[in-house]
């Protein structure tokens, strides 16, 4: 993956597309852990990809591309949540339907939705994406001990 990052930094758009393709499922899962509406998730992913593309030359260490990209997604989700809290009317809240994941992960995602956001993201990154506590701490800007205790 580091080679793709280097080529994308040099301006190879096909390499950038390949990088996004490799990370799109993880990006979606993280965004889904924060947001419930598919439209918001799509907006976050689009904005995150754009920010990634524009800021890619500033990435210092190529090996942390995916971690850096997930951090962008998390920040964009938080922006959407802040804006929604400011502008949400009770009539605008839709009833929740069945997710597109299928039934195999339904219990896991119902459990994730029932817990506080600070725990939800950590659990998704650990169990859903396979990151370890140190990597999660780096992504979320937390201490590794805090991540383990949560």
Residues 84 and 134 occupy one common structural domain: no
Residues 39 and 81 occupy one common structural domain: yes
Which pTM does this prediction carry? 0.60
- Token reading at 52: 């990634």
Residue at which a domain ends, from 88, 111, 130: 88
Residues 53 and 123 occupy one common structural domain: no
- The confidence score (pLDDT) of residue 5 equals 82
- The confidence score (pLDDT) of residue 46 equals 92
- The confidence score (pLDDT) of residue 86 equals 67
Residues 81 and 121 occupy one common structural domain: no
- The confidence score (pLDDT) of residue 109 equals 67
- The confidence score (pLDDT) of residue 88 equals 54
Minimal CA–CA distance to 52: which of 24, 83, 80?
A: 24
- The confidence score (pLDDT) of residue 89 equals 56
Q: How many CB atoms lie within 10 A of CB 40?
A: 19
Count Cβ neighbours within 10 Å for each residue of 81-106 and write b for 16 or more, e otherwise: eeeeeeeeeeeeeeeeeeeeeeeeee
Which residue stretches of the chain have pLDDT < 70? 86-109, 112
């Amino acid at each position: 993956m580091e080679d793709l990052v280097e080529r994308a930094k040099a301006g190879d758009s096909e390499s950038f597309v390949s990088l996004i393709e490799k990370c799109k499922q993880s990006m979606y899962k993280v965004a889904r852990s924060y947001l419930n509406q598919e439209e918001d998730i799509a907006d976050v992913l689009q904005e995150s990809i754009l920010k990634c593309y524009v800021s890619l030359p500033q990435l210092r260490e190529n090996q942390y591309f995916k971690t850096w990209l997930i951090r962008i997604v998390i920040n964009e989700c938080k922006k959407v949540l802040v804006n929604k809290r400011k502008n949400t009317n009770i009539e605008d809240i839709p009833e929740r339907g069945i997710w597109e994941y299928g039934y195999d992960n339904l219990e896991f995602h119902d459990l994730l939705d029932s817990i506080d956001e600070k725990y939800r993201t950590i659990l998704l990154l650990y169990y859903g994406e396979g990151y370890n506590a140190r990597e999660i701490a780096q992504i979320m800007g937390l201490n590794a001990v805090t991540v383990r205790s949560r």
